[in-house]
């Protein structure tokens, strides 16, 4: 069953209260973020339906939004998602090489996930870190000034974190 | 050292926290505005300051504020645009990360001026760690009586909420932002009605950039007239520039708009020159959508005058030989960079970010990306260059929102100034995959600064 904990329900109510009375649909983007974090880092249909129910809107209103914004994952993704920026300013500082290097190292192409479900490689457009390029988003944070050595370290870091959690 | 009004305290240890910020003189503008001024006199002060919107369009802020409708009994809203997604731009992030209280302070004063009791910060979703920083600053301000009910005993109530986007450049456009705030897809609205009349939840709404709202703090503290004395002409005050690309010191700089472009690139106080002794090839001075300029036209105008880092000078010569201040995203290309490839990545960006509502933008951006990719990978035809020119011309001015123009301009400028490089790619499909065209555009290499 897809259901938030009581704790999260309090959070949901607090978010809804930020918007004018009767305009609870405004809470849709924040609630989808919350749901994605809570239910496995992607938005399965039952999850979206649950959010619709919480906000008393129709499921289609949720699907429309979930498909529009690039941060909502509509398919399962790896435990660690490397979202590497490929736009002009990052390209000028070698993002093409970094993307190729990660691909070779993990044996996947952009858009793919490793067979063990550990890593997803995704190319993304400018993340607002152009001065610290090349860069990627990893979870909540940015990893900047990437080099091949740093990529190696990051992959190790993720693997050992995953091993600890198991 | 130039004047600093926004980042002067950025390096004070602990400035992110209320106590330190307050000790350094923070929140004085709230006391002054709420106790000694009225909403109307604040708007007057902002008009006098000559402040122009720092989000990209450069519209006078005081004038924008004076347009807000005030129907009886209808709440009004201020929305802070922290969507910052124009490639090359990362200044608002710096302000929010390091000086969150400066933004909150500016938001309180501006909310008072506009009569907004519920103010929203719309922040791009990828800046996922920044809402925590802002929310902490908001809590601290509330705990100290600067937010919440009856602020400083003046009877003014104000709440500030952070609303996270979810990955869409188009949500930086103010009407798309409002749609997104309402929980919808980020499809820009047809104007009129303008947000000042009918914005969020059909209520009068003002949308301003992070840096614009932070600049309200020094304006109130020093007075609009004093603020207007800094800078030159209609480029008053200071401007944050986020510098990136092939420079020694990428980062965010506050400039007072009197320095030359050459000084900005080569001085150690700013970008610190180009790495490895390379020469300057080109620059996109105001975020990815403004025209790219070759080195000679960047440093000097077509009339041979020094070009300065301000609104008027950067646009001197119009689109034929000038560019724009835009969002202040300053992107430098050294002699090893390929203008075709750079333009291709930008076209890909705009195709990805088009909301798809208008056919010239939806179809045009995809088509331009495809052609540019072909040329970049050595599969282009000579006729493709004219076709590109034709497509961009058909997009410009024919769409609901300015994203169409923003996609068209970089392609137009690249062809206008670097047509020879496009032709060389077409004529040398194999060689162009192995080496770059370099600085062959310049008939006289002395035109290019070492
Ligand atoms: C496609 C597009 C993207 C935009 N992105 C931003 C943005 O990220 N941040 C911003 O402040 N303004 C952005 N703008 C400009 C806003 O529409 C609006 O003019 C601005 O927020 C007004 O604030 P200002 O007057 O303080 O600059 C964008 C405009 C367009 C057309
Ligand atoms: S110009 Fe492009 S982004 Fe703007 S409304 Fe039209 S299709 Fe959408
Ligand atoms: S271009 Fe990569 S972060 Fe801006």
In chain B, where the domains are located: 18-229, 235-337, 339-434
Taking 80 as the threshold, does the pLDDT of residue B450 lie above it? no
d(CA B69, CA B315): 33
CATH code assigned to B18-229: 3.40.50.11540
Taking 90 as the threshold, does the pLDDT of residue B442 lie above it? no
Query: Tokens at residue A103, please?
Result: 């691909």
d(CA A26, CA B179): 9
Ligand 3 midpoint to CA B284 (Å): 14
**Under CATH, to which class is B235-337 assigned?**
alpha beta
Position A106 scores a pLDDT of 97
Mean pLDDT of chain A: 97
Mean pLDDT of chain B: 96
Position B2 scores a pLDDT of 80
What structural domains does chain A harbor?
6-68 (1.10.10), 80-164 (3.40.30.10)
d(CA A47, CA B270): 49
Position A3 scores a pLDDT of 95
Query: Tokens at residue B278, please?
Result: 């390379």
pTM over 0.95: yes
Of B349, B423, B354, B348, the closest CA to residue B395 belongs to B354
d(CA B432, CA B51): 46
- The third-level CATH classification (topology) of the domain covering B339-434 is de novo design (two linked rop proteins) (1.20.1440)
Of A127, B185, A23, B55, the closest CA to residue B177 belongs to B185
| Interior angle at CA A122, CA A115 and CA B175, nearest 5 | 145
Question: How many CB pairs below 8 A link A and B?
Answer: 147
B291 DSSP 8-state letter: P
Taking 70 as the threshold, does the pLDDT of residue B321 lie above it? yes
Instruction: Say how many residues make up chain A.
Output: 166
Contact B326, B364 (CB under 8 A): no
Q: Which of residues 408-447 of B touch A (CB under 8 A)?
A: none
- Name the one residue in this structure whose structure tokens are 């939840």: B201
Position B447 scores a pLDDT of 64
Tell me the ipTM for this assembly. Answer: 0.97
The rounded percent of chain B whose pLDDT value lies above 70 is 98
Per-residue pLDDT of B77-120, as tens digits, reads 999 999 999 999 999 999 999 999 999 999 999 999 999 999 99
Distances in Å between the Cα of B260 and the Cα atoms of A98, B256, B308 are 35, 11, 4
Number of DSSP helices (H) and strands (E) in chain A, helices first: 7, 4
Exposure of B61 by Cβ count < 10 A (0-12 exposed, 13-18 middle, 19+ buried)?
Answer: buried
Per-residue pLDDT of B356-412, as tens digits, reads 999 999 999 999 999 999 999 999 999 999 999 999 999 999 999 999 999 999 999
Q: Which of residues 341-360 of B touch A (CB under 8 A)?
A: 341-342, 345-346, 348-349, 352-353, 355
Q: Do A132 and B250 touch (CB under 8 A)?
A: yes
Per-residue pLDDT of B249-298, as tens digits, reads 999 999 999 999 999 999 999 999 999 999 999 999 999 999 999 999 99
């Amino acid at each position: 069953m897809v259901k938030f904990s009581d704790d999260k329900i309090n959070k949901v109510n607090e978010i809804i209260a930020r918007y004018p009375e009767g305009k609870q649909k405004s809470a849709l983007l924040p609630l989808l973020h919350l749901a994605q974090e809570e239910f496995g880092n992607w938005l399965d249909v039952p999850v979206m339906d649950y959010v619709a129910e919480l906000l008393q809107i129709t499921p289609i209103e949720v699907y429309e939004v979930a498909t529009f914004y690039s941060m909502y994952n509509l398919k399962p993704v790896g435990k660690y998602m490397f979202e590497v920026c490929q736009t002009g300013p990052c390209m000028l500082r070698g993002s093409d090489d970094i993307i190729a290097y990660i691909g070779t190292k993990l044996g996947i192409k952009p858009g793919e996930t490793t067979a063990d479900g550990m890593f997803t490689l995704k190319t993304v457009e400018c993340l607002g870190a152009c001065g610290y390029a090349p860069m990627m988003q990893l979870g909540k944070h940015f990893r900047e000034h990437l080099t091949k050595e740093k990529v190696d370290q990051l992959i190790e870091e993720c693997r050992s974190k995953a091993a600890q959690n198991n | 050292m130039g004047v600093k009004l926004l980042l002067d305290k950025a390096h004070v240890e602990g400035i992110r926290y209320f106590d330190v910020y307050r000790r350094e003189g923070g929140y004085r503008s709230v006391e002054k505005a709420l106790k000694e001024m009225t909403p109307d006199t604040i708007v007057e002060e902002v008009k006098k300051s000559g402040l122009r919107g720092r989000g990209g369009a450069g519209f006078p802020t005081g004038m924008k504020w004076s347009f807000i409708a005030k129907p009886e009994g209808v709440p009004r809203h201020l929305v802070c645009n922290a969507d910052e997604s124009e490639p090359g731009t990362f200044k608002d992030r710096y302000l929010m990360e390091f000086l969150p209280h400066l933004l909150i302070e500016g938001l309180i004063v501006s909310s008072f001026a506009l009569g907004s009791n519920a103010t929203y910060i719309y922040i791009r979703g990828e800046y996922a760690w920044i809402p925590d920083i802002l929310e902490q600053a908001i809590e601290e301000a509330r705990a100290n009586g600067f937010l919440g009910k009856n602020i400083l005993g003046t009877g003014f109530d104000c709440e500030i909420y952070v609303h996270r986007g979810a990955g869409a450049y188009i949500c930086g456009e103010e009407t798309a932002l409002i749609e997104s705030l309402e929980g919808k897809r980020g499809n820009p609205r047809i104007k009129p009605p303008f947000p000042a009349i009918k914005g969020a939840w059909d209520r009068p709404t003002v949308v301003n950039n992070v840096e614009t709202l932070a600049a309200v703090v020094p304006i109130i503290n020093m007075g609009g007239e004093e603020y207007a004395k800094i800078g030159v002409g209609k480029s008053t005050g200071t401007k944050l520039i986020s510098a990136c690309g092939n420079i020694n010191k990428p980062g965010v700089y506050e400039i007072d708009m009197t320095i030359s472009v050459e000084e900005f690139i080569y001085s150690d106080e700013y970008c610190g020159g180009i790495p490895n002794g390379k020469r300057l090839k080109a620059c996109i001075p105001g975020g990815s959508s403004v025209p790219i300029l070759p080195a000679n036209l960047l440093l000097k105008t077509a009339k041979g005058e020094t070009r300065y880092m301000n609104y008027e000078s950067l646009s001197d010569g119009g689109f034929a030989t000038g560019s724009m201040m835009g969002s202040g995203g300053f992107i430098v290309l050294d002699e090893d960079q390929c203008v075709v490839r750079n333009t291709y990545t930008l076209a890909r960006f705009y195709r990805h970010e088009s909301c798809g509502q208008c056919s010239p933008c939806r179809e045009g951006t995809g088509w331009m990306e495809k052609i540019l990719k072909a040329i970049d990978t050595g599969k282009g035809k000579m006729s493709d260059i004219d076709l590109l020119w034709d497509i961009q011309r058909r997009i410009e001015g024919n769409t609901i929102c300015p994203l169409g123009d923003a996609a068209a301009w970089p392609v137009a400028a690249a062809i206008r100034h670097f047509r020879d490089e496009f032709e060389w790619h077409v004529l040398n499909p194999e060689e162009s995959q192995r080496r770059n065209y370099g600085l062959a555009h310049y008939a006289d290499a002395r035109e290019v600064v070492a």
